[in-house]
Chain A
Amino acid sequence: MIALKNVSKWYEDFQALHDCSVAVEKGEVVIFCGPSGSGKSTLIKLINGLEDFQKGDILFKGKSIRDRDVRLPEWRRRIGMVFQHFELFPHLSVLGNLTIAQQKVLKRDAAEAEHKAMALLDRVGLRAHAGKYPSQLSGGQQQRVAIARSLSMDPEVMLFDEPTSALDPEMISEVLAVMVELAQEGMTMLCVTHEMGFARQVADRVVFMDAGTIVETAGAEAFFSAPQSDRARDFLGRLLL
């Protein structure tokens, strides 16, 4: 479904990714972890073209992002993305956040967009908050709205970049619950997270990154119980302290 082939990326003359290759099949849940600054966010952003890259290729359903007839807005519409800091639109109500792109990008009419939005809010347990503004919600609620907003575009893949790391501990589980449900429904997910419980529960594979390289790829259970590389062992050791 998604494949990175020998991708290298530089910011000016700093190389953020070295020759990274990953393939994610339809319905798979792949967790990306690694120390801060290892290039996880960069890799996730490349997949929907929020950053460009200099070497290698990225494929979505066999089509290269570099193909001449690829339109990036349509490419991104099919790939949902959830950010660490939610990035809800503060000038729009919760309902507005969920309908604006449906109406402007997918050209759905207001009633249809609203119907879809309310169904998704129901699903993340926030129907009663449709009329509020993002600033009136807790962090956990905002992130659930952000997930619902992303789903409103009917994405075929979802990218998550540390969706719970800006949350107070007591709000993490409500967001993870939504993500677990999504994974169990068969959504293809690429998720940067250090939530080990979540990873063990839903991950098909774990990709461990360090200093811009993919150091190790393994099944979730194998990775957590017996990491192969020293760097991964080190990292897990520090995470558990």
Chain B
Amino acid sequence: MAQTRMIRLTVNGETGSYTVPVRQNLVDFIRNDLGLTGSHVGCEHGVCGACSIEVNGDLVRGCLMFAVQADGAEITTIEGLAESGRGAALRAAFTARNALQCGYCTPGMLATALDYVEGGGAADRDAIRAHLSGNYCRCTGYQSIVDAVCDVIEGRVEA
């Protein structure tokens, strides 16, 4: 029998209590139990960045945390960012610049780019690439993603 725990956490502003198997990782809990499938799962060992979400304001890998560790935490997923309008400029810039094709990497890419932009990052292509280095995109070749982030930082986007 899998061991379980009761956790209480807030996801995109909604607080609830849930019983989770302790071995369940956070992104699986978010996708399978909460039905928030905007966060994606690629490698399950921290290298691709598809599962990137915000926990207590920090950008983290949803596949490298167990849901039980998030007891008491405040979590924001891509759905929460869309509802609140935070990151709307990045979304608009990604669309305008064709910074996505299949979209698999996009939720994690947006969360990571937002961490950079809100952290006061400069419109410096090397620094942006370094910040996004933990997020894989198999479609775009990254140029358009870096363009989109620069557009937002330099104020060329109307959200």
A and B found bound together: no
